[in-house]
Structure 1
């Protein structure tokens, strides 16, 4: 059973996160190991395994990036073990500019500039997530490859955003 079926959700990028959470809570109650405290060893082990699978599925669907990767995986494109590099020269140039900008901000300790950069990256994440959704909805081989490229960009953007948060914490100390 795939993650979407597990939570009785449509196999699509756009999800009702409240419905996902409600389904997760119900299933969590059914599979939680505490319910099987007096059961046989085999039943307890099965409960732990089912609960771990449930948690993994929930985390995958809750995160837009992981959800997009999972949808592509269901469609035969596995990004987890790929070695392909990004071919978008413009985005690679933009990455270098953002890296330089982050270094400059770190050197100057300019929290306002850091906040502006974070806002810019957050906007880029939203833009690329919309692109991923559109391409996944198109559901063609070509659109899946385009979505995979967008996911590669999103991975960079999420990592950069994490670095921004770490720098902000460091500068505020």
Structure 2
């Protein structure tokens, strides 16, 4: 029995690995279906009686499939990955520069969270605003990547989305603590 190598040459491009077009706005059910098909092919149990080499390759392919799936399933990670594929490093650790209007909105949200920490209905209104802002940025990211192929702009938007996402988690935790 030899390992069915899904497409090792595509291992440097997660989209090609799953047979998907390289774009931000992917069809998640297609991603999941491709992932499950690959996992079924390379599942280590299928190679339990295979040679050490076959077992190792199956394990490597299963690990690659997991990593690729997690990266492409998450919109922020998918966007950062696309930027990286096109030579743009988002510099998340060092580049925290944001437009003034964006920073002002972040400060407003933070103040609202602090002031309304016990008011669940006010926090739910704030969550709706944060979610709407996330959707607006995701729409802009689709345009930047899939439309304009402007990966520098996409990296800026993704950095902002990371801020919003982190705040949304904190807000969600605050709401959950009140329920």
The answer to whether the Cα contact below 8 Å between 2:90 and 2:156 also exists between their aligned partners in 1 is no
Which structure 2 residues correspond to residues 18-37 of structure 1 after superposition, within 5 A?
Answer: 18-37=29-48
Q: 1:121 aligns with which of 120, 124, 130?
A: 130
Q: Which residue of 1 aligns with 2:6?
A: none
Structure 1 SS opposite 2:97 = coil
CA shift, 1:119, in A, is 0.8
Structure 1, 38-47 or 150-159: larger mean CA deviation:
38-47
CA distance in 1, matches of 2:49, 2:90: 41
CA shift, 1:23, in A, is 0.9
Q: 1:161 aligns with which of 150, 164, 168?
A: 168
Answer yes or no: is 1:132 the counterpart of 2:141: yes
Instruction: Give me the CA root mean square deviation.
Output: 1.4
Aligned length: 167
Which protein has the bigger helix share?
1
Structure 2 runs not aligned, ≥5 long = 1-9
Structure 1 runs not aligned, ≥5 long = none
TM-score with structure 1 setting the length: 0.90
CA shift, 1:25, in A, is 0.9
Which structure 2 residues correspond to residues 70-81 of structure 1 after superposition, within 5 A?
Answer: 70-79=81-90
